[in-house]
Amino acid sequence: MADLGEIMRGEGARYLQTHFVPPVQRKAIFDIARCRTAAMGAVLTSCQDCAVEYYSYRSCRNRSCPSCQGAARANWLAARAEELLPVPYLHAVFNVPSQFRILARYCQKEFYEIVIRAVGQTIIDVGWSELHARLGSLIQLQTWTQTLAYLLHAHCMIPCGGFSEDRSRWISFEPHDLRASALAARFRTLLCKAIRTAARKGKFACLPNTISADQILLSATDRDWKVYAEPPFGGPEQLLAYLARYTNRVAITNDRIISYDKDHVTFRGRGYGEGEVKSITLIPTKFLKRYLLHVPPRGFVRIRSYGFMANRNRKKNLERARQLLGQTLAPVPRERIKPIRLCPACYEAKRAEGTLYFAARSSAVPQNIVNQRPPPSPIAA
């Protein structure tokens, strides 16, 4: 089965010769192409089963690489799972109208900042005006669909409850009480206002002379703004697991790539409104172009918390919420994931036995081996 690194090594140089590529996307191409190859160098490692020493190639640790930072991703999931409150949760999705795509193309970081802040403030404002509660939320900004097409949207995880104004009471509500129509209306107001303010401050100076922020706003304000708000399928744990897939990577995972040759890339995806998974085939240039659209700008944080779940006072607020909810026992901390290193012989033996996944105890999340494929043969020092 092919992976993204193989596609980058085969098509990256040709793509760079024929397309304009911003520095952050160029770096992603170089890093993913070199990841776990001789170009990254090797490190001497000791097998955890048989103690044999072997050489393994280093990882690139690029935030867009699907092969890297599996342990960091699992630890993020474990930390967020410990913070879950004993209340129902709401899964909200804010879709940004396609008319704003031109802003994302020319002023990517500035526009993404505006969008994620508007989403966070929308949940706070609607929670207070509709429910008289100070809500909290965990938000992840995404730009892709299952077919790698560009669709800017934000996934939000919202506890169904919040603090009263003096923090003396916990105000619970049902998922349907936080109306999607109210969220959409407030989001439209806040986003359009933030865009006008940014335009006055010159943050969109990189737009072509023939395009203005006011023109874009005129074309978008009359459209229906879509917000989805329903309880998550499978509960909050399943929603967290979905968000964790893309904490340290974007758009696609290696296990979805079926095949690659010089003419085609085939991967698995699911179209909107269709229940069955289908295979999608693109020419390599188009596949790379779609993938690179989703590489985030340098320094942009795609996952943020707002309201009482904001980072500064999160721990104190969660403890207070548990007191008000009568949860006397704090969640048991989960063991942090530690990388498991196996030599080629032990790796093959474990794979043959079907024991490539390890858990410290029956209730723990399975720990995935860092090296998805057998490490390379020893190389000369």
**pLDDT tens figures, 152-190:** 999 999 999 999 998 899 999 998 999 999 999 999 999
- How does pLDDT run across 239-287, given as a tens digit for each residue? 999 899 888 888 888 888 999 988 899 998 876 554 567 888 999 999 9
How confident is the model over 100-141, as pLDDT tens digits?
999 999 999 999 999 999 999 999 999 999 999 999 999 999
Contact 281, 264 (CB under 8 A): yes
The order of strands in the sheet holding 89-95 is 227-230, 89-95, 150-159, 136-144, 303-307
- Judge contact between 25 and 294, C-beta under 8 A: no
pLDDT above 70 as % of the chain: 87
Q: Comparing 367 with 37, which gets the higher pLDDT?
A: 37
User: How high is the pLDDT of residue 346?
Assistant: 82
The answer to whether residues 139 and 108 touch, using CB atoms and an 8 Å cutoff, is: no
pTM of the model as a whole:
0.84
**Per-domain residue ranges of the chain:** 70-251+294-325
In Å, how far are 10, 191, 193, 301 from 217, measured between CA atoms? 41, 10, 10, 25
